[in-house]
Amino acid sequence: MARLFRTRTEKKSSLWNRVVKLALTDVRVAVGGVDSDTLESLEERLLAADFGVPATLRLVDRVEDLARKGKVRGPEGLRGALKDALAEVLRPAAEAFLQAADQGPTVYLICGVNGVGKTTSIAKLAHRLRSEGRSVLVAAADTWRAGAVEQLKIWAERVGAGFVGGQRGGDPAAVAYDAIEAALVRGIDVLLVDTAGRLHTHRNLMEELQKVDRVIRKKLDGAPHESLLVLDATVGQNARAQVEAFSGMLPLSGIILAKLDSSARGGIVVGLQEEFHLPVKLVGTGEGLNDLEVFDPESFIEGVFRDE
């Protein structure tokens, strides 16, 4: 299977320096090694940066193990040990990329709860694809929320993408089916299928999402090529419940982390990779249409450990 976004994006290490503030310069590290107070302080800082418990324990255990072997000495030794440990956790994310169909339209199924920035993320992704010369069709399979279809149609027109929508309260799976038909007829490169914002407590809506997925798979071999969950970076560890809910209903392939700004704590990308083995593939870095970046683990690590 082919891949999308072949070229690496410009490094955004300064972004990660802003949203992941470990302040390791304040962590006391003895010249001869790392003591229990240092490990405790490190653990607190990782948790505060939204790394999550599993990832934090793994990173701290790694540092402690190296310290016990005499391989962590002084602040630079601590930084080096953490860099290596983070690179190990994020290695699968470094190898993850947006899949593309070898033939016919590439189909991305986009899901997430209301308010996470799903609609604007779709618009940003459509804009990026259009700017790279690809034809894009947007399908508004969110027939549940008032104004959702109209809102997505406006965004599609603004970025130069085609649009397929249904009636309010209509069958979302039928919209997805019609959109694939249209994409095949028009020779569209990428089809983005929006779905209604759902919570795990909305059982009927989650089952509806499964139906959309089934219809897409039956209509087009190999589709959806990506099933992406949009998460709000500012909610931190509350994102775990959303990942658990959606991954229980769909075979998710990755995450779009929206609303990544100074109020977010970007360690969540490490926590989600460690706990769910689900890579963050795209990050929203601002409100503009150009503010959507491919997640680059190297830039993340460089930014985390860059001196202020």
pLDDT at res. 28: 62
pLDDT digits (tens, 9 = 90+) for 282-305: 999 888 999 999 999 999 998 888
Q: Give residues with Cβ within 8 angstroms of 63, minimum separation 6.
A: 34, 39, 42, 72, 78, 81, 82, 85
Fold of 99-304: Rossmann fold (3.40.50)
Residue intervals of the chain classified under CATH 1.20.120.140 are 13-94
CATH 1.20.120.140 fits 13-94, yes or no: yes
Q: What is the mean pLDDT of residues 237-254?
A: 91
Quote the percentage of the chain above a pLDDT of 70: 91
Which of 249, 169, 251 minimizes the C-alpha distance to 210? Answer: 249
Res. 198: pLDDT tops 70: no
Output 1 or 240, whichever has higher pLDDT: 240
Secondary structure letter of residue 208 according to DSSP: H
What is the 8-class DSSP label of residue 171? Answer: -
- Say if residues 255 and 272 touch (Cβ distance below 8 Å): yes
pLDDT of amino acid 183: 98
Please check the confidence at residue 212 and state whether its pLDDT lies above 90. yes
Tell me what pLDDT residue 250 has: 92
pLDDT, tens only, 120-175:
999 999 999 999 999 999 999 988 877 888 999 999 999 999 999 988 888 999 99
Q: Where in the chain is the domain with CATH 3.40.50.300?
A: 99-304
Amino acid at 80: G
Res 206: pLDDT? 81
Match 């080096």 to its residue by tokens.
Answer: 80
- Give whole-number Cα distances, 124 to 74, 75, 163, 274, in Å: 44, 40, 15, 27
pLDDT computed for residue 263 by the predictor: 75
Q: Is residue 111 over pLDDT 50?
A: yes
pLDDT at 7 over 50: no
Confidence of residue 56 (pLDDT cuts 50, 70, 90): very high
CA 234 to chain centre: 13
Q: How confident is the model at residue 100 (pLDDT cuts 50, 70, 90)?
A: very high
Q: ∠ CA 288-293-246 to the nearest 5 degrees?
A: 100
